[in-house]
Amino acid sequence: MGFGAAVDDLSEAEGQGQGQGQGDVGERGDGGAGHGDGHGDGVVVSELRAGLLGELERFVHQASRRGGVRRRTAEPDPDPLAAGREVPVEVGSAVRALDELQGLLALGCGGDAAQVLGWVAQIRAMAEAAEAAAVQHLLRTRADVNAGFRNPTSAVKTICKAPHGQASGLVGAATRVGDMPLTRAAWAEGSISKAHVERLCSAAGSGRLHLFVQAETWLVEAALRLPFTKFCNVVAHFELGCEPDIEDAAKREHAKRSAEMRRSRRERGGGTLNATFDPVGFSAFHKVLRTIERELFDADWADATAKYGEGNVTLARLGRTATQRRADALVEMAARAAAVPAGARKPAPMVVIHIAHDVFEAELKRRVGADFSYPPHFTAELDDGTPISPGEALALAVEGEIRRLIYDGPGIRTQYGRTKRFAPQALKEMIEARDRECQAPGCDTPAWECDTDHIIDWQYLGQTNGDELEAKCRWHNRVKDNYHTTTDPVTNQATWTRKQPLNQRRE
């Protein structure tokens, strides 16, 4: 029976079964189903359905067309690279170890969940490094060509059953990581992931390999020590610093990442937007949008509190979802822009740039044609860590406001003690510039969206001093009393451990 014939027979039999069942209902008049031929038809339908599944399985495993005739096999073709090979003892041991680990996790015997997650991530990274080493061996022995594959990517895509992009990325990483010994060693130990390696391989390309070799130590150290987003910012700083003319490089990068927006109208009204921004433009746009989003969120929360009562509000009970609020905030932004009178003065750009004072002075000298020299690591950056050139920073500073932040010094007051509970605006801006983001572990909420929080609570005689305040997002500021906080003396990283509830049931 062919695949198409099975489908036709199944449809015909199901139609007959339904017709017979309807006839029985009409004759009985009591709403019951017939038991005569209808039951037999049900058996036929079941048999045909089983046959259909069998034909479907064989249809999926059919080989490709050869000579205009579709060759059908009951089983898929064997892997030509695996034919006649025995599984090494080490591979069998690794597979059994993973099975045992999965069994422990399924039984809930894995111990500390965070620690187990770290172990599993390390195992995955080590497996990815071994996969790259296998690809290197495949390339050295030209096993892909000997097995009839068109290129290494086709071989990896077929053997690993991976998408084309993933297979191509693995081949590229395996090819380039051979010239990066520290990166390869950290990957083999499971200390960094495939995403780290791909980013480092990209940084080593475009003729930068000789400079990458000199900087590989601190780049790999950044991968070991920092969250992935901050690590990417460090690599971007390296790439920008490698350019012989940093301003020309910044212009080329800006041209590649220039803002663009596509809009399309739906058939039933409304439409969609797809926008891409350059880093500076996105920073200005994102801050305004997030400010309006926060206003709409507070309004939704107040409405839900009035409806359900204090303490009974959850995100599910809010009138809008986060994506709906974001769309409404964009409409509100357009309405506010339309309400501005014609010829009104444009507000200063809401972009925060961090640049060292000596770099700023060197850029000024370069602009006026005087002798100058940039200090090491001379790029500027936005408050999210995205690097920009000193020339771009100076141009934005001229349009906006130049403010020199000094964390402590003559005439700069950062110590208010118990005279003020809430930090003044100048001190709050200093905390935002210093912390950049929420200081709770794993939270990357920008500091300008955060509260200025006392490290020692005000009610416990905390003081409003610069070194006793930190940026804390609204959520972490609200739940901090439910956690113990400890700081690692070496890495200076904070760890939060949830306290046991006071009303815990006693056995």
Domain ranges of the chain: 3-65, 109-242, 273-339, 353-399, 425-498
**Amino acid 302: pLDDT:** 93
The DSSP code for 277 is: -
Tell me the sheet residues that pair with 272: 264
Instruction: Please tell me the distance from the alpha carbon of residue 194 to that of residue 212, in angstroms, as a whole number.
Output: 18
**Residues contacting residue 224 through CB under 8 Å, at least 6 positions apart:** 186, 191, 192
CA-to-CA dists, residue 329 to 270, 297, 474, angstroms:
16, 10, 20
**Amino acid 52: pLDDT:** 54
- Report the pLDDT averaged over residues 342-363: 76
Task: Record the pTM.
Answer: 0.66
Tell me the sheet residues that pair with 32: none
Express each pLDDT in 85-98 by its tens digit: 576 777 778 888 88
At 403, list the tokens: 């403010």
Residue 377 has pLDDT above 80, yes or no: no
Confidence of residue 183 (pLDDT cuts 50, 70, 90): very high
User: Measured at the alpha carbon of residue 432, what is the angle toward residues 429 and 434, in degrees to the nearest 5?
Assistant: 110
Look at the block and give the residue holding tokens 């760890």.
495
Confidence of residue 18 (pLDDT cuts 50, 70, 90): very low
Lowest mean pLDDT among 75-84, 125-134, 311-320, 344-353: 75-84
**Amino acid 324: pLDDT:** 93
User: Is the separation of the CB atoms in 177 and 201 below 8 Å?
Assistant: yes
The DSSP code for 149 is: -
**Amino acid 197: pLDDT:** 94
CA-to-CA dists, residue 330 to 10, 279, 323, 339, angstroms:
53, 19, 11, 14
More confident residue, 356 or 210: 210
Confidence of residue 318 (pLDDT cuts 50, 70, 90): very high
- Please write down the HEC assignment for all residues of 353-395: EECCHHHHHHHHHHHHCCCCCCCCCCCEEECCCCEECHHHHHH
Lowest mean pLDDT among 184-188, 198-202, 214-218, 462-466: 462-466
Q: Which residues of 87-103 are buried (b: 16+ CB within 10 A; e: fewer)?
A: eeeeeeeeeeeeeeeee
- Report the pLDDT averaged over residues 153-168: 87
More confident residue, 69 or 490: 490
Look at the block and give the residue holding tokens 């390296």.
238
Express each pLDDT in 234-283 by its tens digit: 998 888 878 777 666 666 666 666 667 788 888 777 888 888 887 778 88
More confident residue, 107 or 132: 132
Lowest mean pLDDT among 53-62, 397-406, 410-419: 53-62
Confidence of residue 65 (pLDDT cuts 50, 70, 90): very low
Q: Which residues of 267-294 are buried (b: 16+ CB within 10 A; e: fewer)?
A: eeeeeeeeeebbbbbbbbbebbbbebbe
How many angstroms separate the most distant Cα atoms in the chain? 105
Residue 471 has pLDDT above 70, yes or no: yes
**Amino acid 443: pLDDT:** 85
